[in-house]
Structure 1
Amino acid sequence: MEKVLALDQAHPLPLLDKKDSSHLRALLTGVAAVGSAFVGSPHGSWAAVIAVAAGALATTVNTLEHGGQVGMVLEMYRNCAGFFKLLEESIESTLDESEVEKRANGEMFEMEVG
């Protein structure tokens, strides 16, 4: 467990809060939509550039947001790995106990592990 906690402190996963970027990703999408509406006007070339740029930025923000969600999934798996390592050590220490009187009751230990 100490190794897992040390790993967590050495390499923390940055997690993005969806609230921070969702208002940005909606604003950029709106700008792209408005820009695309003016493509046929006399300033159509600028409207097209703004629409494409805002759409690309909205895509980038969305990618970063989902990258944060992947980080949360990795964090969940890292927490599970620590639990399973602790469970493995508990089973090994019970099985390695040489004195039968100090061992846990087999059926009770099976229920605890389950």
Structure 2
Amino acid sequence: MEINDLYKLILAVTIGGSIVGISVYLAKLLSAVTDNINDLRKTVQNVGVITDGLVENQRSISSALDSAGRIVKKVEGVVDSVSNKIIKPLNTIFAMLASVAGLLKSLGLSGSKKKN
């Protein structure tokens, strides 16, 4: 075996070892990229679950607000009814009584007597 053959053999082993080392490094790099992609996929799934929950909560809140709006409209109708059927007639009666009291007072016939 000559020196040239020995150098060629050493060169071949060195190049082979370099190729194996680069292959191992690329395998580790691909493994890390795969792990990062899996983590990203899990994160996207979690965001999807959270947004689904938010949409469901928004629907619940929307239906609750619709129910509250219907209740407020019913209460408004009751208040309007009470106002029209009870309070307005009472205001009219009290206005009439006030005018009668004013008339009696102007005539000097008020119900209260002054004490000396």
RCO (CA 8 Å, sep 6+): is it higher in 1 or 2?
1
User: Higher Cα Rg: structure 1 or 2?
Assistant: 2
Instruction: Report the TM-score when normalising by structure 2.
Output: 0.49
TM (normalized to structure 1)?
0.49
